[in-house]
Amino acid sequence: MASFHHIPDFNYHPKCDKLKITNVCFAVDLLLFSRGDKKSVHLIIDVFKQFCEATRIKENPTKCKIFFGGTNMQEQQDILVVIGFVEGRYQLVKSVLMAISGYWLQVFHIPKKIIKQIEAICRDILWSGKATGRKAYVSWDKIYEPKNVEGLNIKDLNIWNNAILLKLFWNLQVKFDKLWIKWIDVYYMKGKSVMQ
């Protein structure tokens, strides 16, 4: 992709500005970054279209997604009209929000009330694009089901929390040869079973 530092109207994404990053390429994925203003997005999409024409590579509109952060609703709507992509709420919920929650679920027993609040935020973002909103496209129970039965394959946080904690208890019980298990056994369990 072209360098944008010569274009005065282009604004880099705040976390990409120092290194002047506009894109990251993977095997079959391309991530484009800019500040969330209409002009910057328009410029980066124009360069992307030039790239597609030069290489004869065509983007798949059904797989193109955009993620907004810190952009007002009117600006978001204006940008969506210009580029023709849809907001990638599912990927945001699955890859970011659930992953962050999943990390803490591996370390602590999270009360069901907190899990329900996390799920409510994820549900609202998935349905309406905002952390507070109500616009259901699919029932939340359907979200947990695998994609082959038309679910979204998102983990049930309560089941995940219990499963991962049981794995930790299992590791402690059978005393696998891991440093952290030995440390907990020596300092806290003092040779006793988890069940005692």
* Single-letter code of the amino acid located at 148: N
Q: Which two tokens stand for residue 108?
A: 């602590």
- Average pLDDT on 174-187 reads 78
What sections of the chain are H helices per DSSP? Answer: 38-55, 73-83, 89-91, 98-105, 112-128, 140-143, 157-174, 179-184
Q: Tell me, what's the pLDDT at 138? A: 59
* Single-letter code of the amino acid located at 177: D
Closest CA to 145 of 135, 157, 137, 154: 154
Count of all residues that appear for the chain in the document = 196
User: Residue 88 above 70 pLDDT?
Assistant: no
- Average pLDDT on 158-184 reads 82
- Average pLDDT on 173-184 reads 78
| Tens-place pLDDT, residues 5-31 | 778 888 888 888 888 888 888 877 888
| Tens-place pLDDT, residues 103-147 | 777 778 888 898 888 888 877 777 665 544 555 555 667 777 877
pTM over 0.85: no
Residue 82: alpha-carbon gap to chain centroid: 24
